[in-house]
Amino acid sequence: MKKLHITIPMTILASGAVAQEVPVELPPLYLESALRDERSLLDTPVAASVRDRDHLENQQADTFEELLGDIPGVSIDGGPRAVSQEPNIRGFTDDQIVLRFDGGRLNFNQAHRGRFFVDPDIVQRVEVVRGGGSTLYGSGALGGVISVETRDAADLLKPGQTVGARLKTGYSSNGDIWDGTATVYGDWGKVDALGFFGVQQYGSDLKSGNGNDIRNSQIDVVNGLFKLGIEPTSEHRIELGVSQYADDGTTPPNANAASTGTNDVDRDADITTVRLSWDYNPESTDLVDLSALVYGNFLKIEEDRFSDGRSDETEYDTIGFELVNRSQFEAGIPIGLVYGLELIRDSQDGTRNGADRLQFPSAEATTIGVFAEATLALSSQFDLITGLRYDRYDRDADDPTLADQEKDFFSPRIGFNYRPNSNWQVFGNVAQAFRAPSLTELYNDGTHFATAGFPLGPPGAPVFNGVNSFVPNPNLKEERSTQYEIGTRFEKDGIWSSGDKLSFAANVYYADVKDYIDQVVTFIDRGTGTFVPGTGFVLGGTTTTRNIDAQLWGFEAEADYDAGLWFAGAAYSLARGDAANGQELGSIPQDRLITTLGFRPTSEWAVGARATFAAKQDDVPNGSTPGESYELLDLFASWAPEKGVFENAVFRAGVDNVFDREYQIYPNGLSQAGRTFKISAAYSF
């Protein structure tokens, strides 16, 4: 039941025609969690990318933008502050994307408050499926699925080792960031366990490429994780996981905006996650490969404003259960079937100075879904994939003046996987996906933001009062999309030498979205006029949500070549989209090319460079600021001594944004960090 990791020694020809052995752990070309089944990547009939531990460690990431920002079709919005970062896949954002940590959904999404609550150092692998995935995951999978898996004891133990430990420390010059982690782990046959503790502390504010402070970007993080696995027999595995995350610091309520000093808050966040899973895989039958998971996410964010002592408290809890089985059988042809059910209960509550907070009203959401997806092997080279999911959801506001919602939705999918030979794959899909409106989209009320008021003309003309208010829209419809995709993959060893490997993937997509949920901010709304004696006709501003039709399309490609002595890669993303009325969408990211080139002079050393080229994004909504083009260069190096006093240690160094460029990742409103020197050291024993 435990994972098997294989290191493949690659024989290459070094310069001077001297043969040498350079062991290279090739990336595991399979998906485990993002498709609810284990598949070879070359047999995966969707656009997908996998990032393993070796790749992730080379990033020396302090944030998830640094961890995942090089995946084609994926960008991380929210700016340089980790607490505001949220995923963007193909222009679908926030809770249009399913985010899973160790199998459990994290559904929390409140503007500018982020969705990533785990230390990057404990992440073992990340799987990203791009495109509509509602057949397997229901509401929210319009843009795709990001599945984050944390480390187990088996990921860290050396061959023959029963217990072990790993210590790591690192430093980033920009922000004067010190981080340290300690992990202990063991496997005693029927029982295995892991404990992790990580701390990240800032000594100063981050600086952007122009040398300016990103004011109030010092947010310290503490994260702990405990896992306990029990395998009473080879057919059963029970695993308990408990994680505690906390961050603390001063930031604007909108952490993707510049700090003005007048609206800053003292932020304290605590997120507790609990996972209990059971896997049952009897060797006597191919009809049963069962996984059951119960999980809970319990989030609390406190924000105390310095200027007037205003205290906001945000709570969001998710309780979930899912049961999934995988069956293999013959019915004239080989059939693989994945099917199951999912129950999710979300609840939110917000207070301001102890009273109900209209901007985050008390509400609950319940979703019940059943699904099945079959892979029909029509020949040894051609698979037909069909799937269907049924969801029923309700949204209940704790306010008799706001209408509840109760609806159901079917998510069908049909696709194919064609393998003309062992190296090539061609795949295609037509899928329908949906997303139910979030609780805040339906029921937000109260003040959004305030600014200084001013007269709109000569004496007697209307006056803007400087307050922009949320207007709830409990009649929002769910987003519905029909998505088309076709792509290809290639993977082969021994292209130019006996030990090299080349992999390549490319795909195009088109998504027709009905009732796309669009937020509209009207700075001065003439429909809000009221008469105030002595002042006259007073106007305000409004923020509300609406349904519009939209279309999104694009192209993605990635390629990797590894010859042992040297390696190279490239990832390209092109995304387009607009509303049916011809207006631009504000979520479409910049076109982007990321290239990597590296060299391994010996089996202990690796050095390389990564270049990013982002195009200007000027197809933006009226009144929005375009995203300027930028070019970045990052350098990285690692040394893993194989003997001597530093055996079992790994030293890494790097420079991000070598030329100290001033840049923003559209549609972020805040510049990213400038030049950053990074060093880290990890020791396992």
Which CATH number belongs to the domain containing residue 122 in this structure?
A: 2.40.170.20
Judge if the upstream peptide bond of residue 232 is cis by omega within 30 degrees of 0: no
Tell me what pLDDT residue 549 has.
92
β-pair partners for 649: 683
More confident residue, 260 or 205: 205
Question: Within 13 Å, how many C-alpha atoms sit on residue 286's CB side?
Answer: 7
Q: Is the pLDDT of residue 120 over 50?
A: yes
Q: CA–CA distance from 28 to each of 6, 50, 64, 126, 559 (Å)?
A: 9, 8, 21, 11, 15
- Which of 80-89, 395-404, 442-451 is the least confident region? 442-451
pLDDT on residue 464: 73
In a domain, 181, yes or no: yes
Q: Is residue 219 part of a domain?
A: yes
Query: Looking at the predicted structure, is the pLDDT value of residue 18 above 60?
Result: no
* pLDDT bracket for residue 253 (50, 70, 90): confident
* Residue 233 included in any domain: yes
Confidence of residue 465 (pLDDT cuts 50, 70, 90): confident
Determine contact, residues 344/317, Cβ cutoff 8 Å.
no
* Whether pLDDT at 459 is above 90: no
Q: What is the pLDDT of residue 170?
A: 96
| Band (5; pLDDT cuts 50, 70, 90) | very low
pLDDT at 62: 87
Using pLDDT thresholds of 50, 70 and 90, give the confidence band for residue 535: low
- Distance CA(588)–CA(667), nearest Å, equals 8
What's the confidence (pLDDT) of residue 449? 67
**pLDDT value, residue 16:** 33
| 623 belongs to a structural domain | yes
Residue 508 has pLDDT above 90, yes or no: yes
Is 2 inside any structural domain? no
Contact assessment for residue 226 and residue 242, using Cβ atoms and an 8 Å cutoff: yes
Q: Give dist(CA 502, CA 595) in Å, integer.
A: 15
- For residue 22, the model assigns a pLDDT of 42
- Specify the pLDDT at position 7: 30
Query: What b/e readout covers 326-354, taking b as 16+ CB neighbours within 10 angstroms?
Result: bbeeeeeeeebbbbbebebbbbbbbbbee
For 216-252, the pLDDT digits (tens) are 999 999 999 999 999 999 999 999 999 999 999 999 8
In a domain, 1, yes or no: no
Residue with tokens 């640094």, as numbered in its chain:
66
| % pLDDT > 70, the chain | 94
DSSP conformation class of 208 = B
Contact partners, residue 1, CB within 8 Å, separation at least 6: 231, 234, 235, 236, 237, 279, 281
Lowest mean pLDDT among 70-74, 325-329, 535-539: 535-539
Supply the pTM of this predicted model: 0.89
Average model confidence (pLDDT) across the chain:
88
Classify residue 630: in a domain, yes or no: yes
Nearest C-alpha neighbor of 56 from the set 151, 144, 145: 151
Residue 188 has phi, psi (to 5 degrees) of -110, 30
With tokens 């985050």, the residue in question is 360
CB 150 within 8 A of CB 225: yes
Average pLDDT of 139-148?
88
User: What would the mean pLDDT of 633-651 be, rounded to a whole number?
Assistant: 95
What's the structural domain count of the chain?
A: 1
* 612: pLDDT strictly greater than 90: yes
Neighbours of 283 (CB within 10 A): 8
* pLDDT of amino acid 685: 93
What mean pLDDT comes out for the span 383-387? 95
Task: Give dist(CA 638, CA 645) in Å, integer.
Answer: 17
| Amino acid 534: pLDDT | 65
- The bridge status of strand 355-356 relative to strand 311-330 is unpaired
| The predicted structure's pLDDT at residue 29 | 59
The pLDDT of residue 21 is 42
Higher pLDDT among residues 532 and 325, named by residue: 325
pLDDT over 90 (residue 458): no
Range of the domain at 368: 8-684
Name the β-bridge partners of 241: 227, 275
Whether 284 is covered by a domain: the verdict is: yes
Q: Which residue has the tokens 């799987």?
A: 127
